[in-house]
Structure formats: structure tokens, C-alpha cells
């Protein structure tokens, strides 16, 4: 089976690496890919996702690709799955209408309210003035969220009315996230430990993956601005088997049923960001895809045949399938460019060094320069994933190897997997 992965980050590198462990795959392609993915797949950055007819021609006629896996949020929100399916391609991922569970926070919150799925109380605003007068009457902290996609930066926790008004101005008036800030959700701040549960779903059945947790803030001790994720670990130490049952019964299955009921069946990978409160689990967010770097700690722990699971999702035959996980703990430390998540320079040569052979390096922002050298090409550069029997050992191994990789301006958090 020829397989295509769409995307260019560490998540897509991890997906490509996992696909290659399935006996069923023959040729593996990636659009656009990166320098790390190019070592294990044929990357075609020349094919543009918006040139739908050329993309379909490449998939169907030129390469006989039987399965396309879409990694990132933007093409899903833009409807790439609908476009490829109407061209006769077999695609893993939600349609545009179903991907709204991520691409519109207003849609996701209203869906949860309608179907009684536990989440923080909220209000929706389209007017900056009305939102400002609302926050003046609230107690703090509270959370201001841009409705649309904002590269992980559209959620701001505010400690005062002035901070909330600043966040609202940034989103609604200054348009820091473009049209994504035309509407906002203002919600109650929930206290508790966070955990992420991602599931496979064919639109009817759900199979939860191993739990995990990412570290979103840029600096140690959860300080600094939000990023796409500075590291992750799996399993989440706070997430018990009872919580898994609660999540399946009260959140995951109900939301998949709700999407079906709404005429937007969700098939693909559903990411559920959870908070463990005194009143039970509540949903912080849904994403319509694997998390990144979460995929870099989950996929290495998956023992079952990944392509068979993907095929069952696309064929609608997931029900009753058993999926096995490795007992090891996985820790991923993300190496980033100096300045990330703000502005940063790229093009610095990367020296990989003598990394242990059982440590996984998933490239996020890398490319080859004119001399064929591996260079930095993004804010997040390489994720270093180590597996070990305990989190302490996995951390030690990930950090020992993270130190061996060298490039100018390399930055990383030193506390991934701590303060659980
Ligand atoms: N690491 C968070 C995300 O992928 O959305």
C-alpha cells in the first residue's frame, strides 16, 4: 500500500516513522515534509496543497496512493479531506464540517453545552465593547479564547479586567490572529492538573490512545509565552484508569455521538485536552488531529499495527479492535531556536553528535542547505524522545541525548516530565 502523509513537523515525522513499521506499506510519500522525513519518505514540497487537481493527480494517477493521512490543523480546517475525497482519494482525517470542533471554539463550546459534555461555563462575544463590559463584572482569573485557529497562541489566561481587555483588544481590534479573533469565548478558569487523551475514531466507535501531557509554556516552571509545545511525556501520571473510563463514557463517546447527531460525523484522530477538577474531568479543548509533540511520545508506545488501525478508521470498522501499548514511559524534549515562539533566525548548521541508537529524533523545523548540510528551518527544530521503564530514566536519557545535538541558539526546557 502506498501512503502519503501531509504535513511538515515532528508529528508528521513520527507518523512516517510509525507507518514504516507496518508490513502493509510499500512506498511512503510526504508533502511537503522536512529534512528528517526525507530520510524515510519521498518528500514532494513542490506539490502545493491548494493546487487540488495536481494533488489528486499525484495521489491517484501518478503514485497510486491508497491512503492519505493529514497531520496539521490548517489543511483540515480548509477542507482538504472533502476536496481529496471528492477526487476519489482515500483519506484519514475529519471533513471541514467535523474539523470545526477545533477550528471554531464557539462551535465546540456550544456543542458541549447542548449535549451536556463537561466543560467550563462560558459566554460568546462578537462585539469588543460588550465583551469589555462583561469582563468588568467578572471575578478572576478567567480565560479569553479566540474563536478560530491561532497556532496555539489564541488562549489567554487573564488575572484582572485590564488584562482581559488587553487580550480582547489584541484579538478583536488589533486582529493579532486575523479573522480568528472576530468572535471570542470568555470562560471560567478551571483549577486542576491537565492531561491529554487522544482517540482513534471512525465516527461511531472510539479507541482511546495512551494518555499524555505536553508543556506549552516556553520556559522552565511554566513561565513565558505559550508555544506549540516544548515537550511531552506519556503516560500522564495524574490520569488514572477510573478517569479513562469517565472520559470514555462522559466525554469521548458522547462527543462522537453528538457530531453524528449534528450531521458532522467525525472520523480520524480526536484530541481531547482535559482538566482534572474536584467535580470530575472537564474538557479544555478538542483538536481534530494528533498533538505535536504529543504524537512523538504516543506513537513510539503503540505496539499494534498502525496502518491497520488507519485502514479501520477509514473503512468504519474500528469497533471491537484491541490496541496494545508498550509499558515504557516516553519523554520528548523539544529543541528550539533562540527567540521561539517569537521571532528567530534559521539556517544554522545542526550537528547531531553521537546520539544513542534507541533514542528517537523527530525533526520539526529542519532542511538541507546548498551544501547538503542539515540546518535549522523553524522555531521548533528537533524533538528528542527517549523510552525507559520509569519517567526519571526516560528524562535522564532524553536530556543526555538532547545535549549531544548542537546548533547555534539551541534552547530547551530542563523540566519536561517534572512537577507532574
Ligand atoms: N501540543 C499541542 C497541540 O498540538 O495542539
Tell whether the model's pLDDT for residue 153 goes beyond 90: no
Segment 214-225 shows an average pLDDT of: 93
pLDDT at 226 over 90: no
Q: Is the pTM of this model over 0.75?
A: yes
Helix, strand, coil percentages, rounded to 5, for the chain: 30, 30, 40
Mutate to test the pocket of ligand 1, among 153, 271, 295 (most ligand atoms within 8 A of CB): 271
Among 28, 56, 26, 55, residue whose Cα is nearest residue 42:
28
Within 8 A by CB and 6+ apart from 403, the residues are: none
Please give the Cα distance from 416 to 14 (Å, whole number).
Answer: 19
Ligand 1 centroid to residue 292 C-alpha, Å = 5
Stretch 250-259: mean pLDDT, rounded? Answer: 98
pLDDT of residue 254: 98
Please provide residue 141's backbone torsions phi and psi, each rounded to the nearest 5 degrees: -70, 160
| CATH for the 2-95 domain, from 3.40.50.20, 3.40.367.20, 3.40.190.10, 3.10.450.50 | 3.40.50.20
pLDDT band at 420 (very low <50, low <70, confident <90, very high): low
Between the CA of 238 and the centroid of ligand 1 the distance, in Å, is 19
pLDDT above 90: percentage of residues in the chain: 98
Pick the CATH number of 329-402 from 3.90.600.10, 3.40.640.10, 1.10.10.10, 3.40.50.300: 3.90.600.10
Q: Quickly state the pLDDT bin for 419 (edges 50, 70, 90).
A: low
Find, among 377, 293, 286, the residue nearest to 331 by Cα: 293
Q: Whose CA is nearest to atom 4 of ligand 1?
A: 291
Does residue 287 have its Cβ closer than 6 Å to ligand 1?
A: yes
> Which of the four pLDDT bands, split at 50, 70 and 90, describes residue 395?
very high
Task: Tell how strand 42-43 and strand 28-32 pair up.
Answer: parallel
**Cβ of residue 73 lying under 6 Å from some atom of ligand 1:** no
Q: What is the pLDDT of residue 76?
A: 98
Domain 192-315 top-level CATH class: alpha beta
Instruction: Answer whether residue 152 shows pLDDT above 90.
Output: no
Instruction: Read off the pLDDT of residues 48-87 as tens digits, 9 standing for 90 and up.
Output: 999 999 999 999 999 999 999 999 999 999 999 999 999 9
The response to whether residue 292 sits with its C-beta less than 6 Å from ligand 1 reads: yes
| Pick from 411, 250, 231: nearest CA to 330 | 231
Q: Beta 28-32 vs 2-7: how paired, if at all?
A: parallel
Q: Is the pLDDT of residue 394 over 70?
A: yes
Query: Is ligand 1 within 6 A of the CB of residue 104?
Result: no
CA atoms within 13 A on the CB side of 401: 25
Q: What is the pLDDT of residue 70?
A: 98
Q: Which CATH number fits domain 127-182: 3.30.1490.20, 3.40.50.150, 3.30.565.10, 3.10.20.600?
A: 3.30.1490.20
Per-residue pLDDT at 136 exceeds 90: yes
Please indicate whether residue 66, judged by its CB atom, sits closer than 6 Å to ligand 1: no
Neighbours of 142 (CB within 10 A): 24
How confident is the model over 299-339, as pLDDT tens digits? 999 999 999 999 999 999 999 999 999 999 999 999 999 99
User: Tens digits of per-residue pLDDT, 344-359?
Assistant: 999 999 999 999 999 9
| 291 C-alpha to ligand 1 centroid (Å) | 4
- Output the average pLDDT for the chain: 97
Q: What residues contact 224, with CB distance under 8 A and at least 6 apart?
A: 217, 218
Amino acid at each position: 500500500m502506498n501512503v502519503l502523509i501531509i504535513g511538515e513537523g515532528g508529528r508528521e515525522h513520527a507518523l512516517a516513522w510509525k507507518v514504516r513499521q507496518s508490513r502493509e506499506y510499500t512506498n511512503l510519500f510526504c508533502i511537503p515534509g522536512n529534512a528528517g522525513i526525507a530520510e524515510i519518505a519521498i518528500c514532494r514540497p513542490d506539490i502545493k496543497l491548494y493546487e487540488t487537481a495536481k494533488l489528486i493527480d499525484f495521489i491517484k494517477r501518478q503514485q497510486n496512493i491508497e491512503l492519505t493521512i493529514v497531520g496539521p490543523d490548517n489543511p483540515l480546517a480548509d477542507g482538504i479531506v472533502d476536496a481529496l475525497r471528492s477526487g476519489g482519494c482515500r483519506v484519514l482525517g475529519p471533513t471541514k464540517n467535523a474539523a470545526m470542533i477545533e477550528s471554531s471554539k464557539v462551535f465546540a463550546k456550544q456543542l458541549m453545552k447542548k449535549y451536556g459534555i463537561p466543560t467550563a461555563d462560558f459566554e460568546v462575544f462578537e462585539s469588543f465593547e460588550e465583551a469589555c463590559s462583561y469582563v468588568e463584572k467578572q471575578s478572576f482569573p478567567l480565560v479569553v479564547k479566540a474563536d478560530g485557529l491561532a497556532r496555539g497562541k489564541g488562549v489567554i489566561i487573564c488575572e484582572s479586567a485590564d488584562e482581559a481587555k488587553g487580550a480582547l483588544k489584541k484579538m478583536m481590534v488589533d486582529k493579532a490572529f486575523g479573522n480568528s479573533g472576530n468572535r471570542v469565548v470568555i470562560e471560567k478558569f478551571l483549577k486542576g492538573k491537565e492531561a491529554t487523551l487522544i482517540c482513534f475514531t471512525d465516527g461511531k466507535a472510539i479507541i482511546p490512545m495512551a494518555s499524555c501531557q505536553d508543556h506549552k509554556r516556553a520556559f522552565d516552571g511554566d513561565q513565558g509565552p505559550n508555544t506549540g509545545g516544548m515537550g511531552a511525556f506519556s503516560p500522564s501520571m495524574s490520569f488514572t484508569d477510573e478517569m479513562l473510563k469517565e472520559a470514555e463514557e462522559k466525554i469521548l463517546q458522547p462527543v462522537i455521538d453528538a457530531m453524528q447527531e449534528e450531521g458532522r460525523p467525525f472520523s480520524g484522530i480526536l484530541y481531547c485536552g482535559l482538566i482534572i477538577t474536584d467535580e470530575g474531568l472537564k474538557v479544555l479543548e478538542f483538536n481534530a488531529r494528533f498533538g505535536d509533540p504529543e504524537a512523538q511520545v504516543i506513537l513510539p508506545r503503540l505496539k499494534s499495527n498502525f496502518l491497520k488501525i488507519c485502514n479501520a478508521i477509514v473503512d468504519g470498522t474500528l469497533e471491537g479492535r484491541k490496541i496494545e501499548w508498550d509499558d515504557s514511559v516516553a519523554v520528548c524534549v523539544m529543541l528550539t531556536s533562540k527567540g521561539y515562539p517569537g521571532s528567530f533566525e534559521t539556517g544554522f548548521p545542526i550537528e547531531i553528535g553521537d546520539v544513542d541508537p534507541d533514542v528517537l529524533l523527530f525533526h520539526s523545523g529542519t532542511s538541507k542547505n546548498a551544501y547538503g548540510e542539515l540546518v535549522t528551518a523553524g522555531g521548533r527544530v528537533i524533538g528528542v524522545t527517549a523510552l525507559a521503564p520509569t519517567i526519571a530514566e526516560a528524562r535522564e536519557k532524553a536530556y543526555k541525548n538532547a545535549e549531544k545535538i548542537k546548533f547555534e541558539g539551541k534552547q530547551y526546557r530542563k523540566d519536561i516530565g517534572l512537577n507532574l
